[in-house]
Structure 1
Amino acid sequence: MAVRHLISLEDLTDAELRSVVARGAEFSAGTAGTGTVGAGTGGADRPLAGAITGIYFRKTSTRTRTAFSSGALRLGGQIIGYGPDDLQLNTGETTEDTGQVFSRMLDILVARTAGETAELRGWADQERMSVVNAMSADEHPTQGLTDLTTLLRHFGRIDGLRVLYVGEGNNTAAALALGLTRYQGVELELRTPPGFGLAADILDKARARAALSGSRLTERHDMDDIPADQDAIYTSRWQTTGTSKADPLWREKFAPFQVTAALWESSPKAAFLHDLPAHRGEEVTAEVLDGPASIAFDQAANKMYSAMAVLEWCHRGKREAGTR
């Protein structure tokens, strides 16, 4: 199939996943053969030259929307931005008809629906336009690629890393689990509040991946007996974009899962990651987020470089097949 889509990390082969992550790290390091750091300036360094990317966000976004917009421009492409009230979907046009129109005018569509992925897969059911999931309710695949890129840049490897994730088993945690378990010897420890763990299907898929790669994934719903010597400690905000919690006592359940400096007593060399935006005093203390262990804002910067790798990978499929 000439057109490449990224709806879930499960859509990528192991080789494709590693390739996109490595390419993102190259862009981040400024070693991707481009004229400026992470940005093409001409010729072969502008792989999106002549390509048009639609950026469609129904929900708020700072990092992902900016990353894909800036990334497409840096790679020589052009962008069209759509907000939640810009399309005729609001006047009754079907999502199927909207997708048909998009696919006849755009080369790549980057979309954040914050709903289920069925709509995105419907838009991807054609061979003209690539579709990239910029966050759905069940998975945030481009965040997962950003996290892997950040770990690769910081540690020089992903294989064998020990990662502790603390907080809700949300779409960020889902992507982290589906991505990290592809790498050999990784130990991923998830500590999620009772009733707010990873979805059963995501957990099953990640465990199946871990069994193939020789990695280990553990999920518990308490903060007792945290394993020592973690390489990275990761959290996400407690109120995921576009969602709400039906349980009126959810804050009481989440309170023990705050990331504090105490976690570094047994893992003094651990790096701190956060997908942002952060709420200091809720999921993480200011001491941690703004402290020397934090690489959260480097992680945010890598969102653009990872986006560039995704855009290049998507469009390369069309160019290699001669479909453009």
Structure 2
Amino acid sequence: MTYLSRHLISIDDMTEPALRATVARGVDLSQRAEPTALAGAVVGIYFKKTSTRTRTAFTTAALRLGADVIAYGPQDLQLNTGETLRDTGRVLGRMLDALVVRTAGPTAELRELADERLAFVNAMSEEEHPTQALADLTAMQRRLGRVDGLRVLYVGEGNNSATALALALSRFKDVHLEIRTPQGYGVPAGVLERTRGYGVNTGFSVNEAHDLENLPRDFDVIYTTRWQTTGTTKADPRWREQFAPFQVQQELWARSPGAVFMHDLPAHRGDEVTGEVLDGPASIAFDQAEMKMYSAMAVLCWALKA
């Protein structure tokens, strides 16, 4: 079978209908199999950085859809001997149907590597983690029955997961995103401006502050990520003192008793979240991790126009 290709390097690469369709397909795939959707396709999985969920999700997703998989580790490609990103992409584009890549480096590197002949998926770059956001929305849709109209509280570092989540939520109707981060660790201002631009048409609203005071009520989702993002370090040796007040604790549910708790994992109990919350009845963090596989299946189908 011949597959056509699209790139998912940023959430901005998807139209609103495509986002909605991909989230819906992920939910659908969690309930029924499509074992031949990618029959005959060859999917490369190239990870320069550690991964449990994303690498496993895309590998199993490709296999469950009937594709074959070639896995590359950080020492496997001739990039290590000086071959350029562009030349590597041109070669892989003549042999693979799709390439899923995690570098944790600049997104510009991915655009250089992404050859027009293959479907290219960003499995996490320095600036954005788009497949995480799609998995998050798939988990929300499956658990809460909708994304439109949700009220989401994000607590912690304004990292690549937060960036992707904000961009994805801004494409849905009447969503409010409340972001609370330590001073100096917020979501980039340019990203927030992009989300407000989408909000002109969708009714999305976002507010960012740098404490947990005067929180609104009745959030549907309370979300955090680990404080030390993969592949990054913090210049301030006392950064933990700034982050400590932003630990997600059970007290946050006093004003939002119906909220579910989400975490992109891995989690560090006692840092960004207490064990009481992560392992408690409101937590859907491990269901969210499972949705990553079904969301990956939907992403591959979209990227290969299957």
Give yes or no for the alignment of 1:294 onto 2:294.
no
2:303 to 296, 307, 314: 314
Alignment correspondent of 1:10: 12
Counterpart CA distance in 1 for 2:294 and 2:198 is 26
Counterpart CA distance in 1 for 2:185 and 2:252 is 21
Instruction: List alignment gaps of at least 5 residues for structure 2.
Output: none
Counterpart CA distance in 2 for 1:47 and 1:313 is 11
**1:78-123: CA deviations, max 9, x gaps?**
0000011111111111111111111011000000010111121122
SS in structure 2 opposite 1:218?
A: strand
Alignment correspondent of 2:87: 97
2:44 to 27, 31, 54: 54
SS in structure 1 opposite 2:93?
A: helix
Give yes or no for the alignment of 1:72 onto 2:62.
yes
SS in structure 2 opposite 1:60?
A: coil
**1:130-172: CA deviations, max 9, x gaps?**
1100000000000000000000001111111110000000000
1:174 to 158, 163, 166: 163
Give yes or no for the alignment of 1:83 onto 2:85.
no
Counterpart CA distance in 1 for 2:96 and 2:186 is 37
CA shift for structure 1 position 285: 0.1
Contact 2:93–2:115 (8 Å) recurs in 1:
no
Counterpart CA distance in 2 for 1:190 and 1:285 is 19
Counterpart CA distance in 1 for 2:252 and 2:270 is 15
Q: Runs of at least 4 residues of structure 1 off by over 4 A?
A: none
Structure 2 letter corresponding to 1:155: L
CA RMSD of aligned residues (A): 1.0
Counterpart CA distance in 2 for 1:156 and 1:82 is 37
Counterpart CA distance in 1 for 2:123 and 2:227 is 19
Alignment correspondent of 2:197: 208
Give yes or no for the alignment of 1:107 onto 2:89.
no
Alignment correspondent of 1:37: none
Give yes or no for the alignment of 1:163 onto 2:152.
yes
SS in structure 1 opposite 2:199?
A: helix
Counterpart CA distance in 1 for 2:113 and 2:25 is 26
CA shift for structure 1 position 248: 1.6
CA shift for structure 1 position 263: 0.2
* Identity between Structure 1 and Structure 2 (%): 63
Counterpart CA distance in 2 for 1:227 and 1:91 is 53
Alignment correspondent of 2:210: 221
CA shift for structure 1 position 125: 4.4
SS in structure 1 opposite 2:304?
A: helix
Alignment correspondent of 1:185: 174
**1:13-46: CA deviations, max 9, x gaps?**
0000101011001112x14xx3xxxxx34xxxx1
Counterpart CA distance in 2 for 1:91 and 1:124 is 19
Counterpart CA distance in 2 for 1:14 and 1:215 is 13
CA shift for structure 1 position 3: 2.3
Structure 1 letter corresponding to 2:87: D
**1:288-315: CA deviations, max 9, x gaps?**
0000000000000000000000011111
Alignment correspondent of 1:153: 142
SS in structure 1 opposite 2:218?
A: coil
Counterpart CA distance in 1 for 2:191 and 2:151 is 20
CA shift for structure 1 position 124: 2.5
SS in structure 1 opposite 2:212?
A: coil
